[in-house]
Amino acid sequence: MLGIGTRTEFPTVLLIDDDLVSREVMATLLTLEGYTVHTAEGGQIACDLLTEGGFVPAVILMDAQMPGLSGVRLINELRARCQALVFAVSGSYPPEEVMAAADAFLLKPFGPEALGQLLEKLVLRDEANAQNAAPLATEDAEPIVDLNTLRQLREMMSEAALREIYAAIVADLFKRLALLEAAVAGDDLAQVHRIGHSIKGGCAMAGALEAARLGALLEGGILDSDTESDSNNLEAKAVVIRDLRTAALNLERMLEAGLPA
């Protein structure tokens, strides 16, 4: 595996491709440009590398069509292990559900310039979103948990038991994220509503405000649309999944840092 090229202005890249020639050519080009590149020849190997924690990628380039762990399943596993941007790469356009689950798509063959331009575009987009609040965001930063609820739970149980509850909520959120992505890809609105109901109920009981709000929006039909090709609805799907994943990650970070007093 490659792990060379350490100029700090370039993000660390994990490249996943089962084709040896494609993998090494892309890795060499990116390395020569200045990126730190690690490679994996398959989805499960990539997940094992991330679990080992020897490096933290900022960008993951994954071939959209590989044997074994691949596609949306691989994207879900990657997101459960790191916070990197996930770009699908392929010589042809991948299935719609893969396009929706990934942060972006690059058509093979591509060079370092194309990757750099895409990263710059995403940075500019994120800056614009930060200035113009995302569709599902509130104007003021929303607290991760309700402190009153947290205080009441502390009166009822030990700190260890409280941490177990929040750890279970985090695990459940990541599980339901995978189910939600599958339901959205299959346009199963009834399942989306059920997932939203479950998220709202469990998270509201524990005072997990971000996740509970998003669950309520899902249950209330925020993703319902009469027109499957409606670009606004497609954007809403991407935003709500992104925001729910962020809520889960925020809870996970809070748990790792210690529950607020």
pLDDT given at position 16: 93
**Residue 142's pLDDT is what?**
53
Residues of the chain with confidence (pLDDT) below 70: 1-9, 121-143, 225-235, 261
pLDDT in the model for residue 14: 92
| Chosen CATH of 147-257 out of 3.60.15.10, 3.30.43.10, 1.20.120.160, 2.30.33.40 | 1.20.120.160
Domain boundaries, the chain: 12-131, 147-257
**DSSP one-letter string for the chain:** -------TTS-EEEEE-S-HHHHHHHHHHHHHHT-EEEEESSHHHHHHHHHHTS---SEEEEESS-SSS-HHHHHHHHHHH---EEEEEESS---HHHHHHSSEEEESS--HHHHHHHHHHHHHHHHHHHHS--TT--SSPPPSB-HHHHHHHHHHS-HHHHHHHHHHHHHHHHHHHHHHHHHHHTT-HHHHHHHHHHHHHHHHHTTBHHHHHHHHHHHTTTT--S-TT-HHHHHHHHHHHHHHHHHHHHHHHHHHH----
The whole-number pLDDT of residue 195 equals: 92
Class at the top of the CATH hierarchy for domain 12-131 = alpha beta
